[in-house]
Amino acid sequence: MDSTTASPIGPLLRDWRTRRRMSQLDLALDAEISQRHLSFLESGRAAPSRDMVLRLAERLDVPLRQRNRLLLAAGYAPSFAERPLTDTSLAPAMRAVELVLEGHEPNPAIAVDGHWNLIARNAAIAPLLADVADPALLAPPVNVLRLSLHPRGLAPRIENIGEWRAHALERLRRLSAATGDPQIADLEAELRAYRHHDSGRPIRHDYSDIAVPLRLRFGAATLCFISTITVFGTPLDVTVSEIAIESFFPADQATAEAMRAAALARREGSA
């Protein structure tokens, strides 16, 4: 964003404080400044220093991309680089992603960017993407949430589509609130518009009280997974800060055995 067209810093600070449900007094105490000074910053009666912008952004847990926007709005250069994934300086981070994905085999794992577009995947993912009715959903950039909920994507094979849809939409809602990213809000609106046939009856499973599983039909069987999300700790690059790895773990013995069998078939097929 060009600094000449950037929004004033005051309304942006007030917007982030509101998003975090903090009063002026709460934020002022946390940032170790007076409430009067914070009020002046939000109203535009005072201009913050570069250090003050970064201090307030840190206390408000503003994502790195939006911290740069705050700095530009205040008339300062961005502090955090945003390099493409192909930049050689990101090679160590991308290798770390590859190691996590490979190490999770024979179980599926994916890496996504801040908009849930696919960055990388391990070999265990490919068989799960069979029978996608609309090939366009698999054309880069693949948005994994759109792929999972689209009526011509994976949705017809997800047995618990009702609870999985609710889980995915809640994830997007929280991400939109946390980042203030309009693309996330647009994606959420798009996915909410999809309509699916759902019996409305929740499917009971061993993890009913701790996690929402993904129950995916795979041939004549049903695979059941629970997942975890991994992110980089203390990143200083916008791109790296938005990378997330979702790892799927078998939720039952049959799924674990199916994943091992699929991995063995891949190895024998490539021998």
In a domain, 36, yes or no: yes
> How far lies 163's CA from each of 202, 206, 243, in Å?
7, 15, 25
What's the angle, vertex CA 47, arms to CA 44 and CA 49, rounded to 5?
150
In a domain, 1, yes or no: no
* CB atoms closer than 10 angstroms to residue 28: 21
In a domain, 243, yes or no: yes
Same domain, 94 and 179: yes
| Residue pLDDT, tens place only, 8-56 | 899 999 999 999 999 999 999 999 999 999 999 999 999 999 999 999 9
Same domain, 68 and 156: no
On the question of pLDDT at 57 being above 80, the answer is yes
Give the pTM: 0.87
Those residues whose C-beta lies under 8 Å from the C-beta of residue 116, and which sit 6 or more positions away, are: 143, 144, 145, 187
Q: What is the pLDDT of residue 21?
A: 95
Q: How many domains does the chain have?
A: 2
Q: What is the pLDDT of residue 205?
A: 54
In a domain, 4, yes or no: no
For residue 182 the two structure tokens come to 């309009």
| Residue pLDDT, tens place only, 160-193 | 999 999 999 999 999 998 898 999 999 999 999 9
| Residue pLDDT, tens place only, 65-95 | 999 999 999 999 999 999 999 999 999 999 9
On the question of pLDDT at 5 being above 50, the answer is no
Band of residue 266 on the pLDDT scale cut at 50, 70, 90: confident
| Residue pLDDT, tens place only, 123-158 | 999 888 888 999 999 999 999 999 999 999 999 999
Domain extent, residue 198, equals: 88-270
Closest CA to 62 of 97, 112, 27, 24: 27
In a domain, 223, yes or no: yes
Same domain, 192 and 256: yes
Same domain, 64 and 139: no
Q: What CATH number does the domain containing 14 carry? A: 1.10.260.40
Same domain, 232 and 174: yes
Closest CA to 155 of 110, 211, 193, 197: 197
Q: What is the pLDDT of residue 211?
A: 84
**Strand partners of residue 121:** 110
Q: What CATH number does the domain containing 217 carry? A: 3.30.450.180
In a domain, 3, yes or no: no
Same domain, 142 and 246: yes
Same domain, 208 and 94: yes
| Residue pLDDT, tens place only, 200-248 | 455 555 555 678 999 999 888 999 999 999 999 989 999 999 999 999 9
Q: Average of pLDDT values for 243-257?
A: 96
Closest CA to 41 of 177, 61, 20, 31: 31
Same domain, 40 and 97: no
Same domain, 169 and 226: yes
Same domain, 14 and 56: yes
In a domain, 156, yes or no: yes
